[in-house]
Amino acid sequence: MKNKNKYLAAVPVFATVIVMGLSSCTKHDQILDLTTAANPTPVLNTDTLIVAQGTANLLPIGGAAWDGTIDAVWANAPALTVHAVVPDVGNNTFTGFVGNYTDIKLRSLRDADNIYFLAEFNASNKAAKSPLWYFNPDTHRWAQEAEAPTLNPDGVTYRPASVNDRFLMAFNVANSTPGFNTKSCYAACHVNSSFGDPITPAGSNMYTNGPNEILDAWMIQVLQAINCNQGQDTYIDWASGLLNADGKVNDSQANDTDGTFDNLQTLAITGTATNVDVPLWVIPAGDYNNSAIPLSATLAGGAAVKVIAVSSNGVLTLDNSTTINPNTGTDYMQIDAGDGPKCIPGIVVSPFTGSLGDITSNAFYTGTGWKILMKRALNTNDAAHDVNFSTLADQPFGVGVMFNGADNEHAIAAGLTLHFQK
């Protein structure tokens, strides 16, 4: 299995969206222009989130479902509500999403050892899917749902992306990035940085301006939080000084094979030399909780079974000598804007280890939006990549959300300050 960095490990934190206002930018000399018509001035919040004293419970741990209950202790934490909007960053980067917004209600607590955050925001559509495998009866091939909205055959409406909503936070590590204190996440954004295509730039990337500038970036993907009670602890650096590079980096893991992986393999169609992509693991009963296959299910005695062959009409042969015939009924097919009940998850999930797994998290969809709980040690002892809250000094920060199936198109609220009650 290949580590699925693209889906749950290398999605640029605040990538592209926080470049609003950057009309001229080079690797070693970012120029923040807040006046051009093409890139209107970003609205920086100037609000302060008070960190009250108290201990919050993040339960359950171990993959069980959270029922959304919020401990009474959160009533002691003053709430801050910020308005997050998807800006127009140019280059058609966020076409179809510009102007989308949601209000984020933030609260924070801390005790002697840990800091806790509670974020609540509206999202009319629950997006908590991996890119599901479905069977196309016209081509007799297996395919995966797209991680971006795609045009329907009618040429007018869009098929929703097969993605999961995310909540993002960014902090300045040891005050290493001077611009962050006044510009928040805008200090690490570069316009027209197009993932290696300088001729026809279609987006942007995040990186800081020098080798000693580091931002601590947290990404809570609801799929990982629901399945593993975890967020993803990453950081943003200067990407080795390379223009168009992506400066978002994962914190270290104790074991590089842990985390989230593609549920993908390539097999030759039986009796031919034609190679096709098919799922690696399936649960024959079709019981997929939370749109993912737990790594534990793929181990000895687990419910998942390996796919070992595929026929010309898409029938899968499993390692236990049984088969899955997707041509009967629509259980494995696309149904209108959704998918059949037995469509196969595109990822295998397990907890991150090491510093990458520093953030414990819960996620609960209320029917109209998300509740996100987070917990991290005040001091992780990773001075190079993590913000140290144990000094109880004020910390500038910014937040963002990807919601309603928007993939990387996300709304932001920048220019915030964390203040600790003492």
Q: What is the pLDDT of residues 303-315, one digit of tens each?
A: 999 999 999 999 9
**pLDDT for 6:** 32
Instruction: Quote the pTM value.
Output: 0.84
**pLDDT for 244:** 63
Q: Burial of 73 by CB count in 10 Å (0-12 exposed, 13-18 middle, 19+ buried)?
A: middle
**pLDDT for 93:** 60
Q: Mean pLDDT for the chain?
A: 82
Lowest average pLDDT, out of 136-145, 203-212, 265-274, goes to 203-212
pLDDT of 399 > 90? The answer is yes
pLDDT of 1 > 60? The answer is no
| Cα 126 to Cα 146: distance, rounded to the nearest angstrom | 16
Cα-Cα-Cα-Cα torsion 391, 233, 351, 349, nearest 10 degrees, comes to 160
pLDDT of 294 > 60? The answer is yes
- DSSP symbols for 60-97: --SSPPP-----GGGGGSPPEEEEEE----STTTTTTT
How large is the average pLDDT for residues 367-391?
96
Asked if 177 contacts 170 with a C-beta cutoff of 8 angstroms, the reply is no
Beta bridge partners of 97: none
Tokens at 3, concatenated: 């580590």
| Cα 185 to Cα 201: distance, rounded to the nearest angstrom | 21
| Cα 416 to Cα 51: distance, rounded to the nearest angstrom | 13
197 confidence band (pLDDT: 50, 70, 90): very low
How large is the average pLDDT for residues 135-149?
91
Q: Which fold has domain 5-126+164-258+353-420?
A: Immunoglobulin-like (2.60.40)
Q: What residues does CATH 2.60.40.1190 cover in the chain? A: 5-126+164-258+353-420
pLDDT per residue over 212-252, tens digit each?
Answer: 999 999 999 999 998 889 999 999 998 887 766 778 788 88
**pLDDT for 23:** 28
27 confidence band (pLDDT: 50, 70, 90): very low
pLDDT of 26 > 70? The answer is no
Tokens at 45, concatenated: 């919040």
20 confidence band (pLDDT: 50, 70, 90): very low
Tokens at 20, concatenated: 């609003």
pLDDT of 164 > 60? The answer is yes
Kindly state the percentage of the chain with pLDDT values over 70. 80
**pLDDT for 127:** 85
pLDDT of 4 > 50? The answer is no
pLDDT per residue over 84-108, tens digit each?
Answer: 887 666 556 666 777 888 999 999 9
Asked if 231 contacts 218 with a C-beta cutoff of 8 angstroms, the reply is yes
Tokens at 311, concatenated: 């026929």
How large is the average pLDDT for residues 409-416?
84
**pLDDT for 177:** 92
| Cα 94 to Cα 255: distance, rounded to the nearest angstrom | 36
pLDDT of 70 > 60? The answer is yes
**pLDDT for 3:** 37
How large is the average pLDDT for residues 33-40?
37
pLDDT of 15 > 60? The answer is no
Tokens at 130, concatenated: 């991996």
pLDDT per residue over 267-292, tens digit each?
Answer: 999 999 999 999 999 999 998 877 88
pLDDT per residue over 314-362, tens digit each?
Answer: 999 999 999 999 999 999 999 988 899 999 999 999 888 899 999 999 9
**pLDDT for 196:** 40
203 confidence band (pLDDT: 50, 70, 90): very low
